[in-house]
Structure 1
Amino acid sequence: MKLSYRCESCKKENYIKTKSNTRLELQMELSKDEVKEKCKNCGHTNTKHINRLHAEQNYYIILLGVLIAAVITILMWDFGFISTLTATIPIYFWMGEQKKASAFNSTMIRRK
């Protein structure tokens, strides 16, 4: 999961990688209500409240699930086991990412 925000100066999307699954965990990780990030496009320093961040799926993790499914399919091909179970591996990764992003976006913290 990656968090996105729009730069105030150039209006481009910027991304923050985090291990926090909810806004409350992010607040506890940062120990404050605001995130200070520098825009990767124009260099402008943005201060965003945690509620202004939006979670999106990390497609590299879904791609990892596709690669794992391909490797398992190749290994099982020699044994004669071709099944639809290997097709469910990327779907499992995709659903996990979607669930994490939805959980983050559905909660808000109280502004002080």
Structure 2
Amino acid sequence: MDDSKVVGGKVKKPGKRGRKPAKIDLKAKLERSRQSARECRARKKLRYQYLEELVSSRERAICALREELEMYKQWCMAMDQGKIPSEIKALLTGEEQGKAQQNSTKLAKAAKTDANSSNP
């Protein structure tokens, strides 16, 4: 007699569930494992290169911002002493306004580029 059962309109046969283990050649399995390990190491190496480039670009941005901050500090110290730096005079008169806008645009673009490169 057949051991199959009818449950909910479907015929179920007794036995093990899932995939049956395929008989795989041991050498092929080892070779696949080695290949997987090589690919894993290559991905890891690329990830570290990406992170190192990201860190160096951030360090460059930090240096540029520190230089800008130092310049502003010097301007403030000069104004505290009653002197108006020539750069500020030029900005007030509008001579250097175009250059200041270009510099601020460059800094904004650099910040956006760094922000975009941080999203992997």
Normalised by the size of structure 2, how large is the TM-score? 0.28
Larger Rg: 2
Give the structure, 1 or 2, with the largest relative contact order (CA under 8 Å, sep 6 or more). Answer: 1
Decide which structure has greater helix share: 2
TM-score of the superposition, structure 1-length normalised?
0.29
The structure with more strand, counted as a fraction of residues: 1
